[in-house]
Structure 1
Amino acid sequence: MTTHFLVGRGTVLPGFLDAHLHLALIDGTVLPSGGIARAIDLGGWLPDDLRTSMPDLAYAHQFINSPGGYPSRASWAEPAWSCAVASIADATTAVDLQAAAGASVLKITLNSVAGPVFGAEVLAALVGRAHERSLPVVAHAEGAGQADRAFTAGVDAFAHTPFSERLADDLVTAMAARMSWISTLDIHGWGRPTAAFEIASDNLRRFHAAGGRVLYGTDLGNGPLPLGLNSGEIAALLDAGLTPGEVLTALCSPAPLGLTLADSRVTFIPGERPRDPLDFTDWLCTARALTRPELEVLA
């Protein structure tokens, strides 16, 4: 991660990334003014105008689910946002459809709380075909045992830090050696204490301590979250054991999930980084994403 300073002006960093959002549910045009330069859209129908509103973007296109599975019954999800997979043959077709639509990541749902989930053979077929097509696989794993199933099947990342159950230490250590976790801690209560927040924070603390790669992500579109950097998410990451420098690493990943994102914007934060860690979150949340010509004008 390369840091530059504009003397008397502020700090310039690689473009901040939100690794989990849904542009179909928010106004993506305001994200740069809130400090977000790059994004990974993890499910939803993306018309061309939504894709171009966030130029430094990777996306998953449809949610891949079992018939009747999450989020096909959710009030916020349009029917066309889901692609149901009932068989191994369906799995191949579904992955190929996402690739043909320009997806560079596959989003699968394993939410046994909200509906049926894939059997082991179909799940393995989805992951295998995605990897054949060089698509990393991100899983929404919710419900007892679903995170373990996703890991065993070879999923590359979790869309959310696991929050349904406390994962065993040996499982967390094994996951840390191979997976990335997208944080999304603040969606569990939006600042109010909840059991899911405590479980997720404990899992993330141990995953990070074991050397696991953490990506900053908010699940923007899910509840009352700010359209930009989320101070609640940053505070939760710090409380889970990440240092301020590690939070910056989670935001500035040059190749999240192995994806190559454009870098048309950088992040500018007015003023120098504070020495007192207690001031870090407030300083960070003054960031805005600038195009390189805008940065040259500022300099």
Structure 2
Amino acid sequence: MLGRALIDGDWVEGTILPGFTDSHVHLGLVDATLLRANGIARVLDLGWDPAIARSWHESPDAHSPVTDIAGPILTAPHGYPATSAWAPAAASRAVGSVDDVDAATAEVLAAGARVVKLAMNSDAGPTLGDDVLAAIVAAAHDSSLPVVAHTEGAGQAARAFERGVDVLAHTPWTETLDDALLQNMAGQMSWISTLDIHGWGAPNADFDRAFGNLERFAAFGGRVHYGTDLGNGDLPVGLNRRELAALAAALPNVVDSLTGLLPERHMPLKTFIPGEGNTNDVDWLCTAVVIPTNEIQEHRA
């Protein structure tokens, strides 16, 4: 949509888009006010202490992006990320049996979460059993919440797909997935990209595996959401040019990936890009600014 925005007291002609969204961040590890200042209007926090995360969701700072949350990450007892240095203890919630699923899901809902986040990292410890995994997915869906899974280790992405997980929190990178699995996944789930965590600008073997999986998943029609895993290593706080460039090489329309995996709730912010440009032009996309909706005027045909 073409229109104009009020920038530094002047009306500037350009392109109005939905608020660009980073669908995988950990706000507790960064300065959230830098996100909005650097082109991100909306974020999905995928795991933190729910007492803190709830405040981001319900009482956002005036300079921060609109924030949706997952609350605590559901995991197996002694499973990832409970043993990881980056995560406070309350950022994960162990689920030991099917009998514990309803209570765990209720805690996620009480935190104000809009998704349920699972950890399935067999490289870092025990993972949820198949029966517990299936029960969590069913309980989340009964509450109309999509399920996002961190999958890491051989076979974990396939397990998530087979048990009805809706979204992978990362493009799979620990193994190359076969075409048949990717084609089936493309019809039933979406992925969050997070390609740039593999090398932070110096692509490595994990990046190559992830990019190859994502490129084929997208070719089969799979939906990909822009997400950076912000807080994980040397990532820019705001639009990540490297992540965008990788997506532009794999997707027909990068802008589609920037609209987020969740439907918009109250959204007082839009993305505005001066002038007109190609939706896969990374240089143009990186000139995006976040503008309050009351400072934007659309040109009606």
Per the alignment, residue 293 of structure 1 pairs with 294
Per the alignment, residue 140 of structure 1 pairs with 150
- DSSP 3-state at the match of 1:61: coil
| Equivalent residue in structure 1 for 2:167, among 143, 146, 157 | 157
Change (3 A) 1:175 1:274: closer
Per the alignment, residue 167 of structure 1 pairs with 177
Contact kept in structure 2, 1:32 and 1:290, CA below 8 Å: no
Change (3 A) 1:94 1:49: closer
Using the alignment, how far apart are the partners of 2:235 and 2:152 within structure 1? 21
Per the alignment, residue 266 of structure 1 pairs with 270
Q: Which runs of 4+ in 1 moved over 3 A?
A: 48-51
Contact kept in structure 2, 1:18 and 1:218, CA below 8 Å: yes
Q: How far did 1:134 drift?
A: 1.0
Give me the TM-score of the superposition, normalised by structure 1: 0.91
- DSSP 3-state at the match of 1:94: helix
Per the alignment, residue 19 of structure 1 pairs with 23
Using the alignment, how far apart are the partners of 1:108 and 1:274 within structure 2? 36
Contact kept in structure 2, 1:32 and 1:289, CA below 8 Å: yes
RMSD over aligned CA atoms reads 1.7
Per the alignment, residue 177 of structure 1 pairs with 187
Once the two structures are superposed, what CA deviation does each residue of 1:124-164 show, in whole Å capped at 9, x if it has no partner?
11111111111100000000000000000000000001111
Change (3 A) 1:60 1:111: same
Using the alignment, how far apart are the partners of 2:36 and 2:295 within structure 1? 12
Using the alignment, how far apart are the partners of 1:169 and 1:112 within structure 2? 23
Percent of paired sites with the same residue: 51
Q: How far did 1:294 drift?
A: 3.4
Using the alignment, how far apart are the partners of 1:208 and 1:123 within structure 2? 26
| Equivalent residue in structure 1 for 2:216, among 206, 216, 223 | 206
Per the alignment, residue 5 of structure 1 pairs with 3
Using the alignment, how far apart are the partners of 2:278 and 2:256 within structure 1? 17
Change (3 A) 1:36 1:55: closer
Using the alignment, how far apart are the partners of 1:50 and 1:233 within structure 2? 25
Once the two structures are superposed, what CA deviation does each residue of 1:196-242 show, in whole Å capped at 9, x if it has no partner?
100110000111000011111111111111111100001111222x1
- DSSP 3-state at the match of 1:289: strand
Per the alignment, residue 256 of structure 2 pairs with 249
Where in structure 1 are there 5+ consecutive unaligned residues? none
Where in structure 2 are there 5+ consecutive unaligned residues? 5-10
